[in-house]
Structure 1
């Protein structure tokens, strides 16, 4: 039992472990890459933030011990301002010169006027007033300058005290030793003995010796310039251990902790990769039937269009990379967030792995790849776009309506925004845009909707079978064109319906006529056969009955032969031998064959040919059959004691034969129906004709590329036969 469960769920468990181990390896890789600088044991001491903090300590030491040098770098603070006492005095001198020039210019004109007029007392008084004002302005500016210098010195002293307290607060965090090479004076918080300092430097976690040859950090470079300028030498040392709290050592310990964690993650990464590879090899040996859930997921995935699948893979890949890059996973204590982070990453990897498997399948099966590409969104959009551009006016109108609709929304947004902020200009812009869109878009849309409703009502009428109603065709747009097309479809349907009804009627008549024409001689044959069975018949009666049977069987044979030939003509299964034929000679020959019948009839034939040799491209035997059928019809259905006119003319591209006669029967139906099989002008069907002559003749002419038509003018019956000119 346990073995069976193991065989059943083993592959599934291995697959789940593979996905989660891959997620764990990915998280470990991302964390190692993100903090790769910490793998270097001394990375903390090369960190710009460390150099910034170190530069602050160096700056404090310089401020505390070298304030009396009045270096602007030392005494500039935010509280004191950016101007030094020298700059304050220069500003005072410039302001004083400007005031003196202004006052002197103001009094100069009055003093010169007084001296010119000889009023020396007034000139002296004005000069005295000028000097008094100058003295007063100078005293005021001097007082302002003294106050600014005192304020600067007070701020400097406060900054010094703050720096002194901050330097003292460093305690054992950092040891410094600064020596003035000019005076030999030493400034230190540890020992004045340089040897002790150097021994401390050897055991220190970090140390720096000023001046430096080429400092890289800007803050360190600024302090280094001070050491070079003032001929100073200095050591700043961070001990391995401090008696109290040390910010540097605490940060250094934190950096070492990150390094130790990264080393453990590297070990975890290697173990995860090895285990994942082993599981992958194990799963490769399993049958696909062991993973029904994977197969169902793959079948669902195949329903997604190929390009949408690619876009989803890119999106999930970017989300996964962004997730693992920014997510903190390796910390304690382990909680629910670790589970959710690992599960989410595993789910993303499972989805990407499933897509990778499908991609490999498509690479190996080009037919499937082509099928899925044909059903992609790109192909569908391309087809849709091509169909949209097939009628560009419709596309541009729809695009214009879309743009104007956006403009309507934008205008209304401007109006609402202007009402909120009280902006008249924005209100005018929004109102103008909205009004413009309403004036153009709304009437157009309403008119199109009204026309569309009319078209829909007309389509409903058409679907209901009402082919008499017409759709109003307003305007010249595409909807009006659609209305015209629907109206044309209605007319076509009505015409097709009428033609179908006519065809059904003719089929019914055809069946009736065929039955009648075949039944008549067959009935006679049966009756005379029964008569011949009588024993009391005389030889003369037998001979008479046999003559009748011979005529009736011949009649039946003619009907069957004509019907068979008409069927062959209609199906096109007739072999023609097209050649250059003298139609005039062929017509004369046909008339000569019927000379006895014409002579016995009461008809008078008038034949006219333009010339004795008129050639056409035709089959001679089949054309003879056409002439035979037409002359036979003339003899059968022409009113007695009338004339028959036959003319043969040669035109530019054709040869035309025309036969005119007066019909003995009233033709009160469509003359085209005479071309139908078994249709006769004698609807009582008393004549001997089969009703197939004109149908056969018309089929022959059409197969030869010619034409046979009938025209009626009252009782005047006119047949027009047109041949291709040879």
Structure 2
């Protein structure tokens, strides 16, 4: 028991020393700036008092403001006249406003048959209208009114100065001053100056004054009558006039007399500062000593070791981690606040009252520091025992509450609705308990239960049934059965879930169709590529073998070589088109844009097919504007589009039919159309014509590669235009839309 008692005594002694030390150090930090000064006269508080008195001297002693002189200096500019004249609008606007202001008043007076009041309003209205009219007739009339306004501002300014005279007289009684104008030698003082400056020196000296401020000085420089005083606000009329006045400088001294009245606030503050300064130094120095002693004792034997935790540690570990942590932080924060806040030296004349307040504050702080240290010891021991901090945190109240709320409101609408329903169920149960306790409450409970409780019960039953239907439907989908769509009723979360399941199911169907289509197109692509590449390659191989025949006649040899050459070029075209289509589709191609005449470019493309057109039985009809149609495009690539489309028309148009090509500019766009009657029957899905190696000639008897439309569409897409296909029976139409607005 003796060891435990000694440890407790050491602990509480150390707490008191530490608390007293920290409190004194914070007091020194917070108040040191004030009490480290030499005396009160070096503090900011006294400096503000002195500066205020100097401003009063400037206002009432150094500056002689003559009302009549100020009024004579008033000037009125043309801008001021115009501003006054048009302040509320032009003449008609102001006249209309005045008539509107008095119209209702006159009407109301006449309604109650009060002609005298009506005549008074009419007179007031006419007077104001006449005044406004004169404003617009004569500058002198307006000038006189502005002068009158400025004279009123001067009067108000001087009245404000005079209202501060009593404050100046109060301050004048606190200070002694002797100041002389360095230019006019005029003296301003409140001491007996019968003997001149010698008498002033005798009246204001170090023996009779607690404080003397000489002018000029290193700190304040020269004293001048520069106005206006900082005590007054800026006045638009007076301030500029005063600033133009002559500036004079003054020399002399201002002092605070020793042995004045006990009610003198400067002397009260002076002696109060001396007392507080003594207490401050005693308190801070002793607290520093106590703090150093507490550090020494802690180093000799750490105070944390004096706290027994073995008996209570297991109980502390059961406290949730966040609760324990927040309690530790809270007590530590309270301790810090008690040190920092309210640590000013409120010295009372009653020393007992002051001392008891300090002791009480230190005892409360000591208790909080003790609680903080004890909790810290428990926290450290807990950290040593609990290796898995993550697991400890997952058992905390905050984590569990956060996890539960996050899961409950993962779908906000659902969480809110369930919360409301549970609240209704809880309220019904609580109300039933109250009814059992007080039977007369049945009159209130029964209607509420019927109106709120019963509908809530049916809502819950409906939700459960709806949820079960969703579960059954999704179970069927899992087993591969295409179930009918779930009904989407209302906007509840379950309805949203049912809608999502329906959308997902339809998405699966569409995906399956797209996958089947993709597989079909892939198969057709491979077949078409194989067919179109193998046909010329087979001919090349066949005729190459025939060239190896011995004793082959020259005529046959030349024929075979010609066939091989033609098929090789055909193969080269197919391969070049395939590479170009791939580059176009990937966007890995650069456009060299320039300003191009689309009509001329189209004519050049048609010229390439002149012979073919003449040899065919087709009649080509081309319509375009007489003027040029310019666009910023890659001319070479766009020529390839026209070449492919015109070539397709010649290959796939029905014999003895007309082919139409038109160019129509529309504002910022140009529409180019190609129309022909097809030789072959087209499939219903015209989008497949854009697929590579897809041709209208499904038997593939023509020489086309099947890449023309794919390449053309890719080029137009790179130009940020549109290429669309329309099929109406055998009528085949290609529409190209390009932007012709110059960037």
> Could you state the TM-score of these two structures normalised by the residue count of structure 1?
0.49
The structure with the larger Rg is: 1
> Could you state the TM-score of these two structures normalised by the residue count of structure 2?
0.48
Higher helix share: 1
